Structure 1
Amino acid sequence: MTVPAATLSASGSDNAGDADSILERQRARESSARTYARSFPIVPARAHGMTIEGTDGRRYLDCLSGAGTLALGHNHPVVREALRRTIDSGAPLHVLDLATPEKDDFTDALFETLPKEFADRARVHFCGPAGTDAVEAALKLMQTATGRRGVLAFTGAYHGMTAGALAATGSVAVKEPVPGGGAAGGEVTRLPYPYAYRCPFGVGGERGAELAATYTERLLDDPSGGVVRPAAMIVEAVQGEGGAVPAPDGWLREMRRITRERDIPLIVDEVQTGVGRTGAYWAVEHSGVVPDAMVMSKAIGGGLPLAVIVYDRDYDGWLPGAHTGTFRGNTLAMATGAATLRYVTREGLAERAATVGARLTARLEGLRSELPLIGDVRGRGLMIGVEIVDPEGPLDSCGSRPVAPGTAARVQEGCLARGLILELGGRFGSTVRLLPPLVITDEEAESVLERLTEAIAEASASATSSKESNVSKSSRPTGVSGRAA
């Protein structure tokens, strides 16, 4: 058994009490909306590459990467050099949306990564610094261009937490407490997203994807279907928060055909999938689809806040100030973003993500027979999901077992105890998600596999022990204690 990374460093151990105090103050002063801080009760002090070191000296492999933001990991030399160079140059760090050499260079670098057919007709709009603002901008852009209001979105989708993005998001848990569930300037029509393991039609595989496409087309064409022609369709080529569920390429091509034939703009949300993560520079490239707009954030800023939409010039019907914001001109993020974009291209990191991701996925798939808690392994590139299930639960029509969110949480806790940070997502939070940086080494990949395997095995043993205990208790005659005479 590997020595947990959490025990690798003794330096700074005198600060453990300080860490506890910091965490206590965080609990007392920050909002109840805290998320990652609840799952990872640590206080990071230093970080490099894939490693985070806490104030108590413990080290962790970071398989979350800022929810996919850190394509090059923590404090990569390319990013640090871009920061130093920009600060030392005296460049203005904030000038609203004025043109700067840094913005011009970032735009060049971004357009160089785009599929040529899309780039040749593209316009870019710099949004507020978060992906959710870019989603809002894309929806507003298409509503303005088409004069329509409604939006087509999908089950399992995640597009952000502001009003329009939240309305397009599929998660009931985040929408339910908000009156109206968010607003998108018109109604959202929810469509079925292909999900082979838990197919909405109960058939799975290619047939499930075919039915999803057929349902969408017939619904839109049905004069009594209740759907007024919408302003746009928004879709993720791989659902991230939805549980690392990749869209079949053929199905995505069908969505492009269906929207094009009905003059409905297609928006592809690449906030988490972009910049090489799925094994292509942009996830939509796997299918060969050319969308009308792409939403980008996270990794495009090289770890600093930056969000844009890139769209076909035919939709550029905004008046000046139609979608503005104070922090659209983040000079540092543009500099680190340009450096990151070019480094990913120069070093072939998209191809590297495809290779390492395929190896990780195959190894995890191979564990299913010996670790039946693993119900499904899926994803694309270095965007991988491992769905945790109840191995003794009843099979559904697709041959899938019931979700086991409590067990998934124990797997996450077991990973943290072994010095591995990873996120949960998917339905009921039952999917363990792997989002390592694209620069993950072969040695680090092996360590991730080993620690995750141990955590799953431990959770499996715990679940078995608990069930045996319950069976033993339930088999005792009424009124007889478990104590020895």
Structure 2
Amino acid sequence: MTAWTDAAHAQVDLAAVLGRQRDRESAARTYARSFPVVPVHAEGLRVTGADGREYLDCLAGAGTLALGHNHPVVLGAIRRVLDSGAPLHALDISTPEKDDFTTALLDTLPPELAADCRIHFCGPAGTDAVEAALKLTRTATGRQNVLAFTGAYHGMTAGALAASGNIAVREPLADNGFNVTRLPYPYDYRCPFGVGGPRAHEIGARLVESLLTDSHSGVLPPAAMILEAVQGEGGVIPSPDSWLREIRRITATRGIPLIVDEVQTGVGRTGEFWAVQHSGITPDVLVLSKAIGGSLPLAVIVYRSTLDSWRPGAHTGTFRGNQLAMAAGAATLRFVAAEQLPARAASLGERLLTELRVLQARTHCIGDVRGRGLMLGLEIVDPTAAPDPLGARPAAPELAAAIRTECLRRGLILELGGRADAVIRLLPPLTITDAEADSVLNRLGEAVTAAERGANR
């Protein structure tokens, strides 16, 4: 790793910087509360704080940093544009950078979608792309209702928030005028039907079809269904491939556009370039952000051309022409493909799942280990509480928070999610080495043991 020698940042007063943030920024800040770190240097998986400590970053910009911090391929693309004198801001005007990015993106997409699609550049964040997808399908179908799932997270703007499942963030704005029908997402550890496994997946799909075919179900004809192939903020819950194929059959049969939110799962994260490729389905709309910008803000939707009924200006955004993000994104997409990083994520993810299950067996508070590729979760539970009929114990959010704190003490950055924020989430860069993965496992194992010991005092 390159030594950090930035003299200006070497004099950072850590306490003063954190104090000014506390005094100046809003109460809505999140990661800053969990990680009292002031990063001043970063490379790959490793982040150096102003205090000189080095951390292993398994948050990676909430999945944004597919290649880790400051990857040479990304920096090279950014420098090339900066040195060329090309415009950095171009609204939605065509530029060589945009043309190159769309080419790189189309080369990675499921072939059936790539063969007949349109790309729309949105505002800079994933939530902007979700809003665009909802607006697109409502315009194309002339309908308003949206089918969404329990545990979902699609963003913080009005429509995206309405489609999300977290009651704590939705409740203050619950009456925002969006008509959403909530459906049960397959969650084996805490099965909503009390049966778990393939039978529960069948019941869930059957319920969806029943609600759509029953003239007295109360469910208005939907403009779209939106889902995540692996729920991220919801607790790292992969959808079963068979269930997803059945959902695609149901929506296709009834002419309901299927929107798949791949903001966090895309660009190799789950062991395929796009998470929908595990099941072989082709959605009508893909929502993309985070890693597609190579660490810079960029969001797009890719959709079947038959849905393209918008008038000019129907959905705009000042910062949809981020040229640096397009250059960094194109470089990232091509590097991920050329280096076969999705396959690497799949194989390393399987090894990590195996090791995490060993950790589960030798500790007491890990109720479930799950994930796909390098998108992994450990559900932390109260080992002293009685299990439910399926063997699931109550969530232990305080213990999960203690594990996160113990990880930070050992130089490991990771975050929580899921119900009651009781799921430890791992989202390392796809470039993580075997040795770094071993270090992550060791630090996490020590943290779980220490937190359990502290809870038992």
Would you call these one fold, judging by a TM-score over 0.5?
yes
Corresponding position: 1:442 with 2:437:
no
Q: Is the 8 A contact 1:9 1:57 kept in 2?
A: no
Q: Is the 8 A contact 2:381 2:394 kept in 1?
A: yes
- Residue of 423, 430, 433 corresponding to 1:431: 423
Name the residue aligned to 2:78: 83
Within a 5 Å distance, the mapping from 1:80-229 to structure 2 comes to 80-180=75-175, 182-184=176-178, 187-229=179-221
Q: Is the 8 A contact 1:273 1:283 kept in 2?
A: yes
Within a 5 Å distance, the mapping from 1:249-260 to structure 2 comes to 249-260=241-252
Within a 5 Å distance, the mapping from 1:172-321 to structure 2 comes to 172-180=167-175, 182-184=176-178, 187-321=179-313
Name the residue aligned to 1:46: 41
Q: Is the 8 A contact 2:12 2:50 kept in 1?
A: no
What displacement does 1:163 show?
0.2
Change (3 A) 1:140 1:10: closer
- Residue of 333, 346, 365 corresponding to 2:357: 365
CA distance in 2 between counterparts of 1:211 and 1:451 reads 40
Q: Runs of 4 or more off by more than 2 Å in structure 1? A: 8-12, 14-17
Q: Is the 8 A contact 1:243 1:431 kept in 2?
A: yes
CA distance in 2 between counterparts of 1:458 and 1:284 reads 38
SS at match of 2:360: coil
CA RMSD of aligned residues (A): 1.5
CA distance in 2 between counterparts of 1:105 and 1:340 reads 12
Q: Is the 8 A contact 2:4 2:41 kept in 1?
A: no
Q: Is the 8 A contact 1:16 1:56 kept in 2?
A: no
Corresponding position: 1:377 with 2:372:
no
What displacement does 1:369 show?
2.0
Larger mean Cα displacement after TM superposition, 308-317 or 16-25: 16-25
Name the residue aligned to 2:338: 346
- Count of aligned residue pairs for this structure pair: 454
Q: Is the 8 A contact 1:9 1:59 kept in 2?
A: no
Change (3 A) 1:388 1:114: same
Q: 1:69-94 deviations in whole A, cap 9, x for unaligned?
A: 00000000000000110111111100
CA distance in 2 between counterparts of 1:111 and 1:211 reads 36
What displacement does 1:458 show?
0.7
CA distance in 1 between counterparts of 2:141 and 2:314 reads 15
CA distance in 1 between counterparts of 2:10 and 2:260 reads 45
SS at match of 1:104: helix
Q: Is the 8 A contact 2:162 2:174 kept in 1?
A: no
Name the residue aligned to 2:61: 66
What displacement does 1:122 show?
1.0
Name the residue aligned to 2:408: 416
Name the residue aligned to 2:447: 455
What displacement does 1:16 show?
8.1
Q: Is the 8 A contact 2:46 2:54 kept in 1?
A: yes
Q: 1:267-292 deviations in whole A, cap 9, x for unaligned?
A: 00000000000000000000000110
Structure possessing the higher radius of gyration over alpha carbons: 1
CA distance in 2 between counterparts of 1:63 and 1:381 reads 14
| Unmatched tracts of structure 2, length 5 or more | none
Change (3 A) 1:262 1:54: same
Structure 1 letter corresponding to 2:368: D
Q: Is the 8 A contact 2:292 2:298 kept in 1?
A: yes
Q: Is the 8 A contact 2:289 2:300 kept in 1?
A: yes
SS at match of 2:81: helix
What displacement does 1:392 show?
1.4
Q: 1:203-247 deviations in whole A, cap 9, x for unaligned?
A: 111111111111111111111110011100000000000010000
CA distance in 1 between counterparts of 2:282 and 2:172 reads 36
Change (3 A) 1:16 1:365: farther
Structure 1 letter corresponding to 2:235: G
- Residue of 314, 318, 340 corresponding to 1:326: 318
What displacement does 1:126 show?
0.2
| Unmatched tracts of structure 1, length 5 or more | 1-7, 466-485
Relative to the length of structure 2, the TM-score reads 0.97
Name the residue aligned to 2:23: 28
SS at match of 1:367: helix
CA distance in 1 between counterparts of 2:11 and 2:191 reads 47
Q: Is the 8 A contact 1:95 1:329 kept in 2?
A: yes
Q: Is the 8 A contact 2:133 2:287 kept in 1?
A: yes
Q: Is the 8 A contact 2:211 2:217 kept in 1?
A: yes
